[in-house]
Amino acid sequence: MPAFRILIIESDQQESAELQQLIQQWEYKSTAESISPASTLCAPNVDAALKSFDPFPPNLVIFGPVAARETPSESVRQLRQSMGLEPVPILAVQEVQENPAEPLYLADCDDILTKPYSRSLVELKLVAIRRFGEFSRSLMAQRDRLRRHHADFLQEQANAREIFGNLGNESCLDDTPAIRYHLSPRAVLNGDLLAATYSPDGKLVLMLGDFAGHGLAAAVGAVPLTSIFYSMIPRGFSFGRVAREINRKLHDILPRQMFCCLAIMEFDPRRQHLRIMNAGMPSPCLQRGDGSLLMIESRHLPLGVLPSDHVDSAIVNVRISSGDRLFLWSDGIHEARNGRGEHFGEARLLSLLQSEWPDGEQVFERILLAVNAHAAEQHDDLSLVELDLTDPGLLRGGSLPQEVAGGRKGTPIGDWSIRFRLCHAELRQADPLPQLLSVVMQMPGAARFQEDLAIALGELFRNALEHGVLELDSSIKGMDDGFVRYYDLMAERRSQLDSGWVSISLSCLEGEAGGSLSLVVEDSGKGFSGVRDTGSVYSGRGLELLRTVCSELHYSAGSSRVEAIIRWQAEPDAKSEGATQAEYNAIQNPSVPV
């Protein structure tokens, strides 16, 4: 145990010697039964005491009777300020016959010793002061440890926040004004998650999730979720397959008390077709161009609760019209409470969405202002997303990941061919397209036309499977509940498939003037009918969409064989005068009537 250091300030040597002798007779016995005497040092005045602080930092300061009378209050305050943060008690010796109202005793000292001295009283005060000092030092040590732990915790949170922020580097949320979002975490880290990216064929896939809890414990679930999302969607996996993989992964790794409510949507801006699944989130709201509201209620348990899933039956298909907007939010919006404990509520939120504002673009801001005005304080993570589904900014191409595309946009394409044949066993699987695209993109120069190829291959394969092998009629989609009936029927027939095939052939030729890629898809179905219904934008086997990305398109009635040709011109010399980077990378696909 360190010695207990007592600094005696007294100009009268006889008085200081008497005090020093009294203190040296005292031995302190700690709670551990160890005996430790006190160490003393005498100084004639405050200036000398200040100079002794470095070699002899005191635990207690005692003013002798003469120094107590002669030392001004300013010197005592200076002495106390020089002691630092650790509290050091100051005692003053007072003659019994002196006036107890001396300013030094009342204003600047912590206690007094009366003279003539009582040894038992002096020892009692010294023991109490020493225990107080040990307790104070213990508190300060704990304070310092807490400060270090808090600093480490803040640094860990900052690192975690940066990591979670980097998980969204592949996001397209900030690429277009058609997507507006607001994320407000209750703590440093957000338990709500927002992610968006494009599939290779240009479909926008967006998800809004809400993990149970707040802070780091809730945010840690974002790591596997975003990893699955940003690795599978750009490879062409359907969002239903992605949702199933997320549910499996979260169930395997999360504690049983944790789960994730999730709303995930896939929007095809070319077909104006929306597919959305709600698994435990507040009902997303589709605000129609005419002002009506369509609420998309939850049809699935939160992900991670059960190992099994019913994703296919939980997906809602919606036809999008001009002026439609989709709003998604977490429960932090309608569960925001005011000082009386009243929730903001879904009714207030829907009332704002149904109101007619002078500028429709301000609905998003008005919702946030109303929530902030209602809430006394933020009790939960708060998220709000708005998508203008008819904004042309959503119409853009996707791209395969760098490791799949190979980064060969500047390499020669050359001559090559490849052929696949999928029988009924492979066609029963959910997503054969990602594997096909991954293989095709490894061919030399295929990354140069990956967007057009992804759209053409996906469209022709789905047409061959749905209308050729499964014999589905697109006119079903034109009915009021057509989308639900169509996809339910497709899932039923696909699960029972015991025959049929789809053949896919690609051949590439390149010359000095340019090149062409021929994509031939054939199936075991009955082939094209002689008359094609054009009364619905959802009929016609996607041929109108194919004409926008292909240079030529060949098919004939009674045959299931379709050939799509993508042509491009030779790249100009990058060093030629006036050649821009855009021209250098251009791929021209003129529309050619069939």
Whether the per-residue pLDDT at 532 is higher than 90: the answer is no
At 146, the pLDDT band (50, 70, 90 cuts) reads: very high
Whether the per-residue pLDDT at 98 is higher than 60: the answer is no
The pLDDT, as a whole number, for residue 179 is 93
Whether the per-residue pLDDT at 266 is higher than 90: the answer is yes
Whether the per-residue pLDDT at 284 is higher than 90: the answer is yes
Residues 387 and 422 in one domain: no
Residues 445 and 366 in one domain: no
Q: What is the CATH number of the domain that holds 292?
A: 3.60.40.10
441 and 406 Cβ atoms separated by less than 8 Å? yes
Could you tell me the sign of the dihedral formed by the alpha carbons of 23, 25, 31, 35, in that order? positive
In a domain, 291, yes or no: yes
In a domain, 144, yes or no: no
How many domains, the chain?
Answer: 3
Residues 380 and 251 in one domain: yes
Instruction: Determine the average pLDDT of the residues in 128-150.
Output: 87
The pLDDT, as a whole number, for residue 221 is 79
Among 343, 375, 394, give the residue marking a domain's end: 394
The pLDDT, as a whole number, for residue 404 is 44
Q: Mapping DSSP to helix (H, G, I), strand (E, B) and coil, where does residue 547 land?
A: helix
In a domain, 423, yes or no: yes
In a domain, 265, yes or no: yes
Residues 176 and 133 in one domain: no
Structural domain boundaries enclosing 553: 402-584
Instruction: Determine the average pLDDT of the residues in 487-498.
Output: 84
Q: What number of residues does the chain have?
A: 594
Answer whether 0.75 is exceeded by the pTM.
no
229 and 197 Cβ atoms separated by less than 8 Å? yes
Mean pLDDT for the chain overall = 80
- Count of C-beta atoms within a 10 Å radius of residue 589: 17
At 584, the pLDDT band (50, 70, 90 cuts) reads: very low
The pLDDT, as a whole number, for residue 535 is 44
The pLDDT, as a whole number, for residue 430 is 57
* Lowest model confidence (mean pLDDT) among 334-348, 456-470, 506-520, 542-556: 542-556
Instruction: Determine the average pLDDT of the residues in 252-262.
Output: 88
Residue 104 per-residue DSSP state: I
At 104, the pLDDT band (50, 70, 90 cuts) reads: low
The pLDDT, as a whole number, for residue 406 is 45
Whether the per-residue pLDDT at 8 is higher than 70: the answer is yes
Instruction: Determine the average pLDDT of the residues in 190-219.
Output: 83
The pLDDT, as a whole number, for residue 542 is 66
Cα–Cα distance, 342 to 377 (Å, whole number): 12
Whether the per-residue pLDDT at 381 is higher than 90: the answer is no
At 185, the pLDDT band (50, 70, 90 cuts) reads: confident
The pLDDT, as a whole number, for residue 337 is 85
Percent of the chain past pLDDT 90, that is, above it, reads 16
The pLDDT, as a whole number, for residue 373 is 87
Instruction: Determine the average pLDDT of the residues in 406-412.
Output: 51
115 and 14 Cβ atoms separated by less than 8 Å? no
Identify which has the larger pLDDT, 73 or 441.
73
Whether the per-residue pLDDT at 407 is higher than 50: the answer is no
Identify which has the larger pLDDT, 415 or 17.
17
DSSP calls for 348-402:
HHHHHHHSPPSSGGGHHHHHHHHHHHH-SS--S-EEEEEEETT-GGG-------H
Residues 358 and 218 in one domain: yes
The pLDDT, as a whole number, for residue 520 is 93
Q: What is the CATH number of the domain that holds 430?
A: 3.30.565.10
Whether the per-residue pLDDT at 204 is higher than 90: the answer is yes
In a domain, 593, yes or no: no
In a domain, 152, yes or no: no
Whether the per-residue pLDDT at 413 is higher than 80: the answer is no
Q: Give the best-scoring range by mean pLDDT among 29-33, 241-245, 360-364.
A: 241-245
The pLDDT, as a whole number, for residue 412 is 66
Strand partners for 275 = 266, 317
The pLDDT, as a whole number, for residue 147 is 93
Residue 202 per-residue DSSP state: S
Identify which has the larger pLDDT, 215 or 433.
433
Instruction: Determine the average pLDDT of the residues in 315-324.
Output: 89
In a domain, 452, yes or no: yes
Torsion (CA) 448, 242, 224, 436 in degrees, nearest 10: -40
Identify which has the larger pLDDT, 437 or 34.
437
Whether the per-residue pLDDT at 594 is higher than 50: the answer is no
Cα–Cα distance, 414 to 507 (Å, whole number): 10
Cα–Cα distance, 458 to 437 (Å, whole number): 9
Residues 422 and 387 in one domain: no
Whether the per-residue pLDDT at 155 is higher than 70: the answer is yes
Among 332, 363, 394, give the residue marking a domain's end: 394
Which tokens in the block code for residue 433?
Answer: 């397209």
pLDDT tens-digit series, residues 567-583: 887 766 544 444 443 33
Residues 58 and 122 in one domain: yes
Instruction: Determine the average pLDDT of the residues in 416-438.
Output: 80
Nearest to residue 521, comparing CAs of 488, 578, 468, 561? Answer: 561
Instruction: Determine the average pLDDT of the residues in 126-134.
Output: 84
Exposure string (b/e) for 362-384, b if CB count within 10 Å is 16 or more?
ebbeebeebbeebbeebebbbbb
The pLDDT, as a whole number, for residue 312 is 80
Place of tokens 């020669």: 412
Among 343, 368, 394, give the residue marking a domain's end: 394
User: How many Å is the Cα radius of gyration of the chain?
Assistant: 39
The pLDDT, as a whole number, for residue 400 is 45
Whether the per-residue pLDDT at 442 is higher than 80: the answer is no
Residues 477 and 376 in one domain: no
Which amino acid, residue 548? T
**78-81, Cβ contacts within 8 angstroms, sequence gap of 24 or more:** 78/46, 78/50, 79/46, 79/49, 79/50, 80/108
The pLDDT, as a whole number, for residue 188 is 59
Residues 340 and 413 in one domain: no
Could you tell me the sign of the dihedral formed by the alpha carbons of 64, 67, 68, 74, in that order? negative
Residues 456 and 322 in one domain: no
508 and 447 Cβ atoms separated by less than 8 Å? no
Backbone angles phi, psi at 529, to 5 degrees: -80, 160
Whether the per-residue pLDDT at 158 is higher than 70: the answer is yes
In a domain, 438, yes or no: yes
Cα–Cα distance, 368 to 360 (Å, whole number): 15
Residues 471 and 337 in one domain: no
Q: What is the CATH number of the domain that holds 119?
A: 3.40.50.2300
Strand partners for 278 = 263
241 and 263 Cβ atoms separated by less than 8 Å? no
Cα–Cα distance, 551 to 568 (Å, whole number): 9
* Lowest model confidence (mean pLDDT) among 104-118, 275-289, 325-339: 104-118
Residues 441 and 528 in one domain: yes
Sheet with 4-9, side-by-side order of all strands: 27-29, 35-43, 4-9, 60-63, 90-95, 111-115
